[in-house]
């Protein structure tokens, strides 16, 4: 029997994942759009306390659709079953960002104050140094968050605890780095297309992005009832 933490490598084809994901969800596009929008809004207005639970509910709905099951708006509330793990993962994601934003404010303000006593050249050098450091830290944060991209679906799909899901997600991302980077590139392109469409279009491409990401997840973590459902290497990693 397949171990719930096993995963596959070399099976993420970004454009195929997006195309297949959209083909699967298009019959319930507006339902999934509503689930995603309401879940995101609730996660935000509750000061991120319900963000993890809502993310789990959103992924629950998309996984059901990708796996060929009917979806309903009530699927969003299934995420409340994962309130504890979702909150733990949210803290790991949000707290470093919060600290980073405080650091950016302090570093930039401090660089300006320190540079003021050194003249215009000193102020400019201090500001450039602070900006470079802030950018480096942001890149590191993006890399860290990328390692967690499979965490919420793993909690829902494999019933893993928060920290186990984060560890398994990180290992799977590292073993599928090429495909993951490709997914990020395709998702960025879709977002840009959405912004070109009077900016509001970005909201309408989010379900497509979600579907592509969930399809990529399902390729890496096949359904336990259909572990051989996708082509590619047959090796499973732990």
Which residue ranges make up each domain of the chain?
A: 27-175
Residue 135 and residue 187: Cα distance in Å, rounded? 21
Residue 233 and residue 211: Cα distance in Å, rounded? 23
Q: Is 135 exposed, middle or buried (0-12, 13-18, 19+ CB in 10 A)?
A: exposed
pLDDT at 18: 97
pLDDT at 26: 96
pLDDT at 95: 93
pLDDT at 231: 41
- Averages of pLDDT over runs of 10 residues in the chain (238 residues) are 86 97 97 97 94 97 96 97 96 93 81 65 73 88 95 97 97 97 96 84 93 97 68 49
Q: Is 127 exposed, middle or buried (0-12, 13-18, 19+ CB in 10 A)?
A: middle
pLDDT at 52: 97
Give Cβ neighbours of residue 40 (< 8 Å, ≥ 6 apart): 54, 58
pLDDT at 117: 67
pLDDT at 225: 74
Number of residues assigned to the chain: 238
DSSP assignment string, 36-105? HHHHHHHHHHTTTTTHHHHHHHHHHHHHHHHTT----GGGGGGGGGGHHHHHHHHHHHHHHHHHHHHHHH
Question: Which pTM was predicted?
Answer: 0.88
Residue 19 and residue 156: Cα distance in Å, rounded? 24
Do residues 79 and 94 touch, judged by C-beta distance below 8 A?
Answer: no
pLDDT at 107: 77
Give Cβ neighbours of residue 217 (< 8 Å, ≥ 6 apart): 63, 150, 153, 157
């Amino acid at each position: 029997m397949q171990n719930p933490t096993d995963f596959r490598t070399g099976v993420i084809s970004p454009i195929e994942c997006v195309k297949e994901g959209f083909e699967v969800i298009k019959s319930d596009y507006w339902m999934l759009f509503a689930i995603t929008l309401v879940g995101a809004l609730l996660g935000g207005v509750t000061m991120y306390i319900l963000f993890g639970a809502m993310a789990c509910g959103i992924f629950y709905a998309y996984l059901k659709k990708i796996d060929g099951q009917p979806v309903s708006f009530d699927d969003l509330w299934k995420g409340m079953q994962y309130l504890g793990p979702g909150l733990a993962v949210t803290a790991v994601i949000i707290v470093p960002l919060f600290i980073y934003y405080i650091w950016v404010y302090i570093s930039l303000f401090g660089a300006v104050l320190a540079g003021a006593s050194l003249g215009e050249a000193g102020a400019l050098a201090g500001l450039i140094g602070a900006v470079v450091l802030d950018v480096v830290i942001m890149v590191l944060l993006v890399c860290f968050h990328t390692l967690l991209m499979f965490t919420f679906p793993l909690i829902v799909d494999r019933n893993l605890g928060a920290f186990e899901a984060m560890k398994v997600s990180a290992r799977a991302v590292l073993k599928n780095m090429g495909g993951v980077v490709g997914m990020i590139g395709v998702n960025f392109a879709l977002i840009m297309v959405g912004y070109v469409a009077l900016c509001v279009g970005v909201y309408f491409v989010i379900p497509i992005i979600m579907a592509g990401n969930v399809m990529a997840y399902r390729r890496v973590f096949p359904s336990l009832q259909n572990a051989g459902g996708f082509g590619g290497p047959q090796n499973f990693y732990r």
